[in-house]
């Protein structure tokens, strides 16, 4: 990965934007630290102090997603869609009653995709809240949309005051065979997508 004076360069980011980076797993740890350091304008970002940056990282198989924003809670999740999963049992264990009903009402041939679509939406929301409840305790305490023809949304929650969420939920254009979702504080976000090739082009422009 090319460097510019020892550092890569990242696109400018403003509040209300989310930059979504797709990375290869073999380099994701190094790349994510370099990306965050570049956004912060430092040589090496401290693990406990990211300044105004907000970020979330998720990986599954060969796919890693890094979401970066400014002063806003966020969570990203990606999962490899796998056949052979006992989705009815898992849904009854971890999903809310309304989500279980919606999932079981889905056509059998669409149920695997619906399960993982719901799972990543819920994981992304929990990550954004950083509620510390753990997956089993937290997943059943709120409901998201399940059906493919309904926009991603948090329908109700017992994890925020008033039963309504202050976070927006987005489905992501994940690679084939994967499901991805993003939860972000606020509304009307501009989501921009990048990959490691964009790091190279930014660095090249910086040294031209």
pLDDT at 201 over 60: no
Q: How far apart are CA 124 and CA 117, in angstroms?
A: 11
pTM of this prediction? Answer: 0.87
Angstrom CA distances, 129 to 19, 72, 76, 115, stand at: 19, 11, 11, 21
Q: How far apart are CA 120 and CA 47, in angstroms?
A: 25
The CATH number of domain 79-185, selected from 3.40.50.720, 3.90.470.20, 2.40.50.180, 1.10.10.10? 3.90.470.20
Question: Number of helices (H) and strands (E), helices first, in the chain?
Answer: 6, 9
The domain limits of the chain are 17-72+190-207, 79-185
- Residue 174 has what pLDDT? 86
Tokens of 72: 């806003």
pLDDT tens per residue across span 127-139 = 999 865 555 567 8
Q: Are the C-beta atoms of 76 and 20 separated by less than 8 Å?
A: yes
- Residue 40 has what pLDDT? 86
- Residue 202 has what pLDDT? 44
- Work out the angle at residue 20's Cα, subtended by the Cα atoms of residues 18 and 21, and round it to the nearest 5 degrees: 145
- 3 state DSSP class of 96: coil
Buried b (16+ CB within 10 A) or exposed e, 102-126: bbeebeeeebbebbbbbbbbbbbbb
Average pLDDT, the chain: 86
């Amino acid at each position: 990965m090319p460097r510019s004076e020892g550092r890569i360069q990242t696109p400018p980011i403003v509040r209300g934007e989310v930059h979504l980076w797709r990375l290869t797993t073999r380099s994701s740890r190094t790349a994510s630290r370099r990306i965050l350091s570049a956004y912060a304008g430092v040589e090496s970002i401290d693990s406990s102090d990211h300044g105004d940056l907000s970020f979330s990282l998720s990986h599954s198989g060969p796919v890693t997603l890094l979401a970066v924003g400014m002063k806003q809670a966020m969570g990203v999740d990606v999962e490899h869609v796998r056949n052979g999963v006992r989705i009815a049992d898992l849904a009854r264990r971890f999903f809310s009653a309304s989500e279980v009903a919606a999932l079981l009402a889905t056509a059998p041939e669409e149920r695997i995709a619906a399960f993982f679509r719901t799972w990543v939406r819920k994981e992304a929301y929990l990550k954004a809240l950083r509620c510390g409840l753990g997956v089993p305790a937290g997943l059943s305490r709120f409901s998201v949309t399940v059906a493919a023809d309904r926009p991603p949304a948090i329908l109700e929650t017992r994890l925020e005051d008033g039963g309504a969420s202050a976070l927006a939920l987005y489905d992501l254009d994940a690679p084939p065979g994967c499901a991805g979702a993003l939860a972000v504080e606020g509304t009307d976000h501009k989501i921009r997508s990048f990959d490691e090739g964009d790091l190279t082009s930014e660095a090249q422009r910086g040294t031209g």
